[in-house]
Structure 1
Amino acid sequence: MSSWRGLMKLSSVTGAGLAGWFAGKHYERHVVGVEHQPRRSSFLSAANVKSMPGLPIFGSVSAASPLPPTDSNTVDVDHNNMGSKLSTTGSRLSQIMKYGFPGLDQVRSYDDFVLSYDRRNRVAHWVFEHLSQERLNTNKNIDRSKCEFVPDPSIHPFFRSDNRDYKRSGYDRGHLAAAGNHKMDQKHIQQTFYLTNMAPQVGVGFNRDSWNRLEIYVRKLTKIYKDVYVCTGPLYLPKLEPDGKKYVKYEVIGANHVAVPTHFYKIVVGETSDAKLEMEAFVMPNAPIDNDAPLENFRVPPESVERAAGLLFFDKVARNKLHKINGKKVS
């Protein structure tokens, strides 16, 4: 029955009249809203932990009215009419969305990293990387000085950030996928300089110091693990104001109103040679940080980042299948 319910909740979007859009492959988290299920049950099977951990799920599209019943107590599903009901719902959705969706979160797959771009804030939702000792071997022909910060031409001009946005803003163009992680090929490192991979970061004390220390630390993990998976992104966290209320406030810079995140996160999963998985989660404020502050000070429960970011990280691996989280063994 659960497989049928999963099928019935699958988004059914047909191509007719949608100007090339298709969204049927976008799921809600394990096709049932996480707010209605315990955390553990929403994870997919972790039987094959050798496959690359899943990307964060964001911006899924599903039918507003679920196809027959989602109530676990209801069992009278007419399987014979399943196809016609899926077809009817798909047809109705095509009719409603005849002239296209306002937007689906834009996932960009570059040669050596993947990101989801937030067109409203002009900063990525998340950037995903895979590191190993082999992939971090520096190609002697790589020349970072030849790399230039450029807008990503694949992003609609309405939603791009521009170098002029950063000029005299007081912020660095801070890499999310670190340039130092992509030195196998000149094209790889150049792609990290697309402004889609940038976020406004405080320079002295953060981007050039403590954030850089974190990036170096992650690269060093490849000496411990055979594979390291890294997800990096911005956060916009609320702050308690004098009136006793909490507000989410952040600066925007330039003519394109590029959002300045209040914090940044990195979620890291290392895979050992015997297929054990260990996770670390870090959050740093976008502010000057004492360079003597240990990186351990910035470890946080992964769930706190997920709630703040609105993302679910490494969803193909159940947390109770992890060997360690933030250096502590998982019971």
Structure 2
Amino acid sequence: MSKSTIAVIAAVSAGAGAAATAAMYSLRSSDKKIESITTTTTTKTNTLATAASKLPVPASQVFNGTAAATTTNASPVAAATTTTTTSPIAVATLGALVDPSGLFEYGFPGPVSDIAARQALISSFDRRLRNPQWVVEHITPESLAKRDGDRKNSAFREDDAVPDKFRARLKDYARSGYDRGHQVPAADCKWSQTAMDDTFYLTNMCPQVGEGFNRDYWAHFEDFCRRLTQKYPSVRIVTGPLYLPRRDPADDKWYVRYEVIGNPPNVAVPTHFYKVIFAEEEGAGGGASGKVALGAFVLPNAPIPNEKPLTDFEVPVEAVERASGLEFATKLPTQRRKRLCADTPCSLIIKEYADRQKAFAKGGSSPPRNTSR
């Protein structure tokens, strides 16, 4: 494979049409130069290692480096957990003149990520934007075949594991014009009613455009992810929002602009969403040496025509990392990686939303998506 070249291209507004918006991302074949978006961020993320947990980001932080854990009511398999661990902050010796670290006697400012580990998913919640930063799920042929959960028995709910003043609320979505968009789909978690319920926490939600996206193209994309289990015995997926810049034609400058909903307005409406997919071959999990088909996709939060090829939204993993400030595959050696869309066809099977509603009705279940419209 030749070296990938990542280029910044203009992000056009949703008002200019879904086709134009969707066309902002493209990926050529693995033998050609890769062209995609890169978002430069100035925010520095402080990654703190945890001793008692494998969770990559602590949920709260204290200056002295001690660890504490708070467990809330969650599933019997994996409780929603808040873990606190920090590394000591090095303070330069400046004599008796100043001691900035004295502030931490009153508390550590953060940033804080609220981590929830539940049956169906693990999520990291962004208190400032009231959206998840990422949500991780794992699907297998066995998990998708089991039918012990039904979404008609689930209800959207606020996550009381998040402090009240930082929490997204059901009323924030009311009459907003946006769906409460699952990041981990309920349809991936029918193997347990508890797992199904886990997907309805607002910490697994973002405001999504309904018609043409959440109820259509995005739903087809989720179906594509499930169909990967027909070839791969284990599929792990990270999903989350992005807030990408676009060029303003008035002054030719780049701006990050997004709507905020709620009363008071506090829940950010993402401009885009990403999925990073790890399709594991036999023996790939648990640090083994098996191959992993890796794919990353970025879709605009806007109506997308069903005929738009999914490969138009494929991007290098590095592009998602630059845009999100996250890292996804630092421990996956290059020799174990394959490009997902070179290893299997990346194409959607389009089923109209009305047809899916009828299919669910025949099975005695409610339609696949509840909305806040």
TM-score (norm 2): 0.64
Aligned length: 259
Query: Which AA in structure 1 matches 2:279?
Result: G
Residue 248 of structure 2 corresponds to residue 233 of structure 1 = no
**Compared CA separation, residues 205 and 25, structure 1 to 2 (3 A):** farther
Query: Secondary structure at 1:187's aligned position in 2?
Result: helix
What's 2:317 paired with?
A: 302
**Compared CA separation, residues 93 and 190, structure 1 to 2 (3 A):** farther
Residue 110 of structure 2 corresponds to residue 110 of structure 1 = no
- What's the CA shift string for 1:210-246, capped at 9, x where partnerless? 1011100001111111111100000000010120110
Query: Which AA in structure 2 matches 1:201?
Result: Q
Query: Which AA in structure 2 matches 1:133?
Result: P
Residue 189 of structure 2 corresponds to residue 182 of structure 1 = yes
Using the alignment, how far apart are the partners of 1:197 and 1:23 within structure 2? 31
- What's the CA shift string for 1:239-285, capped at 9, x where partnerless? 10120110000000012510000000000011112521110111000
Residue 147 of structure 2 corresponds to residue 132 of structure 1 = no
Using the alignment, how far apart are the partners of 1:249 and 1:277 within structure 2? 36
What's 1:70 paired with?
A: none
Stretch moving more, 302-311 or 102-111: 102-111
Shift of residue 137, structure 1, vs aligned partner = 1.8
Shift of residue 108, structure 1, vs aligned partner = 1.2
Residue 282 of structure 2 corresponds to residue 267 of structure 1 = no
Using the alignment, how far apart are the partners of 2:64 and 2:197 within structure 1? 31
Note the 1:107-256 alignment, pairs <5 A: 107-139=115-147, 141-242=148-249, 243-255=251-263, 256=265
Stretch moving more, 182-191 or 101-110: 101-110
Using the alignment, how far apart are the partners of 2:91 and 2:61 within structure 1? 24
**Compared CA separation, residues 151 and 11, structure 1 to 2 (3 A):** closer
What's 1:288 paired with?
A: 303
**Compared CA separation, residues 249 and 188, structure 1 to 2 (3 A):** same
The RMSD of aligned alpha carbons is: 3.0
Question: Is the Cα contact below 8 Å between 1:12 and 1:23 reproduced in 2?
Answer: no
Question: Is the Cα contact below 8 Å between 1:148 and 1:193 reproduced in 2?
Answer: yes
Question: Is the Cα contact below 8 Å between 2:62 and 2:85 reproduced in 1?
Answer: no
**Compared CA separation, residues 25 and 125, structure 1 to 2 (3 A):** farther
**Compared CA separation, residues 129 and 23, structure 1 to 2 (3 A):** farther
Note the 1:34-45 alignment, pairs <5 A: none
**Compared CA separation, residues 161 and 11, structure 1 to 2 (3 A):** closer
Query: Secondary structure at 1:266's aligned position in 2?
Result: strand
TM-score (norm 1): 0.71
Using the alignment, how far apart are the partners of 2:130 and 2:274 within structure 1? 17
Note the 1:12-51 alignment, pairs <5 A: 21=62, 24=65
What's 1:258 paired with?
A: 267
Query: Which AA in structure 1 matches 2:139?
Result: L
- What's the CA shift string for 1:39-89, capped at 9, x where partnerless? xxxxxxxxxxxxxxxxxxxx996555489xxxxxxxxxxxxxxxxxxxxxx
**Compared CA separation, residues 11 and 171, structure 1 to 2 (3 A):** closer
Query: Which AA in structure 1 matches 2:259?
Result: E
**Compared CA separation, residues 97 and 185, structure 1 to 2 (3 A):** same
Unmatched segments (≥5 aa) in structure 2: 1-46, 52-59, 68-83, 93-98, 284-289, 345-373
Shift of residue 131, structure 1, vs aligned partner = 1.1
Query: Which AA in structure 1 matches 2:324?
Result: A
Query: Which AA in structure 2 matches 1:189?
Result: M
Using the alignment, how far apart are the partners of 1:179 and 1:222 within structure 2? 17
Question: Is the Cα contact below 8 Å between 1:128 and 1:177 reproduced in 2?
Answer: yes
Shift of residue 320, structure 1, vs aligned partner = 4.2
Identity %: 44
Using the alignment, how far apart are the partners of 2:179 and 2:205 within structure 1? 9
Shift of residue 145, structure 1, vs aligned partner = 0.9
Unmatched segments (≥5 aa) in structure 1: 1-8, 14-18, 27-58, 68-91
Match of 2:105 among 98, 102, 125: 98
Using the alignment, how far apart are the partners of 2:199 and 2:313 within structure 1? 25
Query: Which AA in structure 1 matches 2:132?
Result: A
What's 1:44 paired with?
A: none
What's 2:19 paired with?
A: none
Question: Is the Cα contact below 8 Å between 2:209 and 2:301 reproduced in 1?
Answer: yes
Question: Is the Cα contact below 8 Å between 2:65 and 2:85 reproduced in 1?
Answer: no
